[in-house]
Amino acid sequence: MDVNEVLLPGVGLRYEFVNHEGHRVGVVAQRSGEFELVVYPGEDPDEAKPVLRLTGEEADALAEILGAPRIAERFADLTREVPGLSAGQVEVRPDSPFAGRPLGETRARTRTGASIVAVVRGEDVIASPGPAQGLRAGDVMVVIGTREGIAGVQRIVQG
């Protein structure tokens, strides 16, 4: 799918795309953090019909609703495609020896063969964390590997 990006100097950006039904959709992202969703109905192709205006917070909520199931689906697809591979989550508890230490020190991949593909910290997702990525108590690591591998990472991190 092609998303066209149009600069609105002094105001922000506009993203445009055509959906599978042939509707032209525009999203105006203003510098102020507000969003406007528009469609372009037939008669005057230049004129947008405003559909919604969203504050930054509302836009975040909408993005989450639209985005979250898709991330889960992708993980599910990935593990389904490769037999024997699973995905799991390992929480860094406050008493973990690695709370406050860099990820690399767990040597998780070397020791278990499982990969840590993301660290979920509150509302943020740190994708593809490097070995220098610090871990904090409360972080949740997303681990991909065999079931034994994931259990191994859990043993290492949770001490």
Partner 1 sequence: MHTPVALLLELGVILTALSVLGAVGRRFALSPVPLYLVAGLALGDGGLAPVPAAREFVDTGAAIGVILLLLTLGLDFTVREFTSSLHRHRSSAVVDLVLNAVPGALAGWLLGLDAAGILALAGATYVSSSGIVARLLGDLRRLGNRETPAVLSVLVLEDFAMAVYLPLLAVVTAGGTWAQALFAVLVATVVVAVAIAASGRWGHHVGRILSHADAEQVLLRVLGVTLIVAALAELAHVSAAVGAFLIGLSLTGAAADRARTVLSPLRDLFAAVFFLALGLSVDLGDLLPALPAATALALVTAVTKMAAGWYAAGRDGTGRRGRLRAGTALIARGEFSVVIIGLAAPAQDRLGALVTTYVMILAVCGPLLTRCAPTGPAPLPKAEPDGGRALSKTHPLPAPSAGSAHGVTGPG
Binding-site ranges for partner 1 (CB under 8 A) = 6-11, 14, 26, 28, 30-31, 36, 38, 40-41, 43-51, 61, 64-65, 68-69, 71-72, 75-76, 79, 86-91, 120, 122-123, 125, 138-140, 142-143, 147, 150-151, 154
88-120: string of b/e by CB count within 10 Å (b at 16+)?
bebebeeebebbeeebeebebbeebebebbbbb
DSSP 46: T
Closest CA to 3 of 36, 33, 23, 25: 25
Nearest distance, CB of residue 33 and partner 1, angstroms = 10
Give the helix/strand (H/E) hosting 127.
Answer: strand 124-127
User: Which residue type occupies 66?
Assistant: L
Shortest reach from residue 138's CB to partner 1, in Å:
8
3 vs 76, beta carbon nearer partner 1? 76
To the nearest whole angstrom, how small is the minimum distance from the Cβ of residue 61 to partner 1? 6
Residue among 2 and 5 whose Cβ is closer to partner 1: 5
Residue 33 or 131 having the CB closest to partner 1: 33
Please, what is the minimum distance in Å from the beta carbon of residue 104 to partner 1?
Answer: 21
- The residue (of 32 and 107) whose beta carbon lies closer to partner 1 is 32
CA separation for the pair 158, 135 (Å, rounded):
12
Q: How many Cβ atoms from other residues are within 10 Å of residue 135's Cβ? A: 23
- To the nearest whole angstrom, how small is the minimum distance from the Cβ of residue 80 to partner 1? 11
Q: Which is nearer to partner 1, 64 or 105 (CB)?
A: 64
Contact criterion met (CB below 8 Å) for 114 and 144: yes
